[in-house]
A and B are shown apart, each in its own frame.
Chain A
Amino acid sequence: MYKKSLSYPYLVWAAAFIIIPLLFIVYYGLTDRSGAFTLENLMAIATAEHSKALFLSLLLSLVSTAICLLLAYPLALILSNSKLGRSGFIIFLFILPMWMNFLLRTLAWVVLLDTNGVLDTLFKTLGLPRFKIINTPAAIVFGMVYDFLPFMILPIYNVISKIDINVINAARDLGANSFQTLYKVIFPLSLPGVISGITMVFVPSLTTFVISTLLGGGKILLIGNVIEQEFMKGTSWHVGSGLSLVLMLFIIISMVLSSKYDNGEGNVL
């Protein structure tokens, strides 16, 4: 069982299908059509269209990460205090929607958010201001929060539910009120989960092209859309790879930040 050879199939697989493909992006990103070294593909990010897409992606993904955190933290607290959390309910809650296709689930928001759609009609009957957010950046944020919220809830819940109850009781005994306990004891201890949740929401939001295609009406381009078009509409793989390298820079930054705090506790599983 302890034979080293057990790891060989995996290591071969990882080299062939994880490491080498990434090197291909680096190669394509740093060369031109003739194969000569160039930085032009990286500089392509500076064009007005591309930098606007990158800026919008950063903005929307930061906003949706913040919203996810604000929504998920109280929920994780509630679940960790109740019996529901223990009975596998939370995994159930998280896994089940995945059996309804991701594209269809996101598309369903079009029906709900559309002008004269379900929410708009509801707002109208209640005499509230109209609810017209479809095909706007707000709808994209809506979709991001919807799709990635579970990735924020799970790591935070995992960490909070493992906090030793005696630590919390000690804080109470020493005179801390509920707010102080939360702010000075529970929150610092839950930080690995929070950080892990932030990366798990931020990275897919930053790089999505599906949500913006479905809920942005095809008019709003995120950096993911730009890259997807470079590859699938056959414009230039080199530029597409260059832009991906720029994007990976942001991913690596957020991964390094998270690994600083992460001691394995914040893992989704």
Chain B
Amino acid sequence: MIKKWVQRFYLFLIILFLYAPIGTLIVLSFNNSRTSVKWGGFSLKWYQQLFESKTILAALGNTLLLALLSAIFATILGTLAAIAIYHMKKRRQSICMSIVNIPMLNAEIVTGIAFMLLFISVGNLLSIFGIHFEMGFGTVLIGHITFNLPYVVLSVMPKLKQLNLSMYEAALDLGAGEGQAFFRIVLPDIMPGVLSGFLLSFTMSLDDFVITHFVKGLGADTLSTLIYSELRKGIKPEMYALSTIMFLAVFVVLLLVNLSPQKHIKEEQHR
């Protein structure tokens, strides 16, 4: 009994530790005073001003668009790669998996500067031919797709391993084309992995700062880089309001998904 309470208390402390800063930011978003040190009374004014701030809204647009596009591309590319790697011979498979893992295991700063050197060199090369190339939204997108890839491959791979190959072969025997067999037999089976890869990619892209910092060039601020550039002047409280909205929105969605009775039934069936 005591053991159970100690365990509960420990779990509570860790959750408190992980969520204390989030609670702080939510409280600050309702703080009437501009400084984060003093509590100046409850106010919704930052929420109001948020929707008037063009820079923040533009950065939000960039961030969401990047997350969406990079997640879509990474999911397609990564799923195809996972299927191909899964069917490789042992040795090639392990080489490919090491390459897949590089962007995830390597330090973000190294990945970031490596991209920066690549893009600047490509820019210099192209300028010889009179083509103008600068870092911006496109280069950030390439960066995000690249670091999202391992998350997709690693979430699709286990589902492929569970796949029953006879089903696919049966479909072919019964006259389905390869494409048909893939879309109607294989894809539905690996869909949970594909979806979780997509969601992970979206979240990773949303939360990224370091790689964006190095490849964004002069344009294309995301929320992260905008916050970083505001560090000296002090963070605008509108940012707190925006992150509170984003956090609560996702909190509600995830809560609904987790609590929906249907999912539990499905999980039971899977076991």
Interface residues, chain A, with chain B CB atoms under 8 Å away: 1-2, 4, 6-7, 9-11, 13-14, 17-22, 24-25, 28, 71, 74-75, 78-79, 81-82, 84, 87-89, 92-93, 95-112, 114, 116-118, 146, 149-150, 199, 203-204, 206-210, 213-214, 224, 227-228, 231-232, 237, 240-241, 244, 247-248, 251, 255, 267-269
Given known A-B contacts A203-B107, A269-B151, A104 and B240 have beta carbons under 8 A apart: yes
Q: Which residues of A contact B206 (CB under 8 A)?
A: 98-99
Q: For residues 129 through 158 of chain B, which have their beta carbon under 8 Å from a beta carbon of chain A? A: 142-143, 145-146, 149, 151, 154-155, 158
B113 touches A105 (CB 8 A): no
Given known A-B contacts A18-B146, A98-B207, A146-B17, A228 and B109 have beta carbons under 8 A apart: yes
B116 touches A231 (CB 8 A): yes
CA distance A7 to B97 in the complex (A): 12
A104 touches B239 (CB 8 A): yes
The yes or no answer to B28 lying at the interface (CB within 8 A) is yes
Query: B160: shortest Cβ distance to chain A, in Å?
Result: 10
A-B contact pairs, 30 of them (CB 8 A): A1-B87, A1-B178, A6-B80, A7-B88, A14-B149, A17-B115, A17-B142, A17-B145, A20-B118, A21-B115, A24-B117, A87-B258, A96-B250, A99-B206, A99-B246, A101-B207, A103-B227, A104-B240, A104-B243, A108-B25, A112-B24, A117-B37, A118-B24, A146-B21, A149-B14, A149-B17, A207-B110, A228-B109, A244-B113, A269-B155
A255 touches B103 (CB 8 A): no
* B-side interface size class: 35 or more
Q: Which residues of A contact B149 (CB under 8 A)?
A: 10, 13-14
Q: For residues 82 through 120 of chain B, which have their beta carbon under 8 Å from a beta carbon of chain A? A: 83-85, 87-88, 96, 99-100, 102-103, 105-111, 113-118
Of B22, B99, B107, B121, the contact of A206 (CB 8 Å cutoff):
B107
Among A7, A208, A213, chain B packs the most CB atoms within 10 A around the CB of A7
Of A97, A103, A149, the contact of B19 (CB 8 Å cutoff):
A97
The yes or no answer to B228 lying at the interface (CB within 8 A) is yes
Given known A-B contacts A204-B107, A231-B214, A1 and B146 have beta carbons under 8 A apart: no
A74 touches B108 (CB 8 A): no
The secondary-structure label for the interface of chain B is: helix
CA distance A92 to B196 in the complex (A): 12
Q: Which residues of A contact B250 (CB under 8 A)?
A: 96, 99
A251 touches B84 (CB 8 A): no
B15 touches A93 (CB 8 A): yes
Query: A41: shortest Cβ distance to chain B, in Å?
Result: 13
Query: B210: shortest Cβ distance to chain A, in Å?
Result: 7
B158 touches A99 (CB 8 A): no
A71 touches B14 (CB 8 A): yes
- Since A14-B149, A207-B109, A240-B113 are in contact, a sample of 5 more A-B pairs with Cβ atoms closer than 8 Å, ordered by chain A residue number, is A28-B117, A99-B246, A102-B209, A231-B214, A248-B107
B77 touches A10 (CB 8 A): yes
The yes or no answer to B20 lying at the interface (CB within 8 A) is yes
Query: A93: shortest Cβ distance to chain B, in Å?
Result: 7
A101 touches B227 (CB 8 A): yes
Of A10, A24, A75, A267, the contact of B118 (CB 8 Å cutoff):
A24
Among B20, B151, B214, chain A packs the most CB atoms within 10 A around the CB of B20
CA distance A255 to B88 in the complex (A): 24
The yes or no answer to B62 lying at the interface (CB within 8 A) is no
CA distance A84 to B224 in the complex (A): 32
The yes or no answer to B186 lying at the interface (CB within 8 A) is yes
Q: Which residues of B contact A109 (CB under 8 A)?
A: 21
B22 touches A92 (CB 8 A): no
- Name the residue of chain A whose CB is nearest to the CB of B193: A269
Query: B240: shortest Cβ distance to chain A, in Å?
Result: 7
The yes or no answer to B181 lying at the interface (CB within 8 A) is yes
The yes or no answer to B69 lying at the interface (CB within 8 A) is no
Query: B147: shortest Cβ distance to chain A, in Å?
Result: 10
Query: A214: shortest Cβ distance to chain B, in Å?
Result: 8
A78 touches B17 (CB 8 A): no
Query: B154: shortest Cβ distance to chain A, in Å?
Result: 5
A7 touches B235 (CB 8 A): no
Query: B12: shortest Cβ distance to chain A, in Å?
Result: 11
The yes or no answer to B182 lying at the interface (CB within 8 A) is yes
Among B116, B142, B178, B246, chain A packs the most CB atoms within 10 A around the CB of B116
Given known A-B contacts A21-B114, A108-B25, A241-B113, A96 and B84 have beta carbons under 8 A apart: no
- Name the residue of chain B whose CB is nearest to the CB of A82: B7
Query: A232: shortest Cβ distance to chain B, in Å?
Result: 8
B118 touches A251 (CB 8 A): no
Of A108, A118, A244, the contact of B109 (CB 8 Å cutoff):
A244
Of B15, B84, B223, the contact of A7 (CB 8 Å cutoff):
B84
